Amino acid sequence: MLTLAGIIKHLCLISVNNQKHTMKQHKIYLALTGSLLGIVLLGSCAKDPLKNMTNEESRIYITNYDSSAHFGSFQTYSITDSVAVISNGALQKRTLTATDAAFIQAVKDNMAERGYQLVANNEHPDLGINISSVFNNQTGVISYPSYWGYYGSYWDPYYWGFGGYDYYFPYVSYAVYQIREGALSIDMVDLKDAGNDKKIEGVWNGLIRGEAIFNASTAASQVKALFDQSPYISSNH
Amino acid sequence: MKPLKIFFLAMLCAGFGLPALAQQQKLTMHINYAVNTPTGSFKSDLVSKTSFRGWNANVLYGVTDRLSLGLEAGFNDYYQKYPRQVYDTKDGAISAVLSNSIQTVPVMLKGRFNLAPSGMVQPYVGAGVGGNFVSYSQYLGEFAGSKSGVYFAASPEAGIAIPFRKHGASAFTLGGRYNFMPFSYSDNKNLNNWGLYAGIKFPLK
Residues 6+ apart with CB under 8 A from A28: none
A215 touches chain B (CB under 8 A): no
The per-residue pLDDT for range A51-76, each reduced to its tens digit, is 889 989 999 999 999 989 999 999 99
Q: Tell me the average pLDDT across B128-138.
A: 94
B56: which strand partners? B32, B74
| Percent of chain A clearing pLDDT 90 (strictly above) | 43
Name the band, by pLDDT with cuts 50, 70 and 90, for residue A141. Answer: low
Q: Tell me the average pLDDT across B97-125.
A: 95
Name the band, by pLDDT with cuts 50, 70 and 90, for residue A151. Answer: confident
pLDDT at A217 over 90: yes
What value of ipTM does the predicted structure carry?
0.74
- Subunit contact B141:A230, Cβ cutoff 8 A: no
At residue B146, the pLDDT reads 82
Range in A75-79, B13-17, B93-97, B197-201 the model is least confident about: B13-17
At residue B167, the pLDDT reads 80
Pairing, β A76-79 against β A127-135: parallel
- Subunit contact A41:B3, Cβ cutoff 8 A: yes
Q: Tell me the average pLDDT across A157-180.
A: 68
pLDDT at B105 over 90: yes
The per-residue pLDDT for range B36-69, each reduced to its tens digit, is 999 999 999 999 999 999 999 999 999 999 999 9
- Subunit contact A50:B97, Cβ cutoff 8 A: no
Question: Cα–Cα–Cα angle for B147, B128, B39, nearest 5°?
Answer: 55
Burial of A98 (0-12, 13-18, 19+ CB in 10 A): exposed
Residue numbers in A near B31 (CB within 8 A): 34, 37-38
Other beta carbons less than 10 A from residue B101's beta carbon: 24
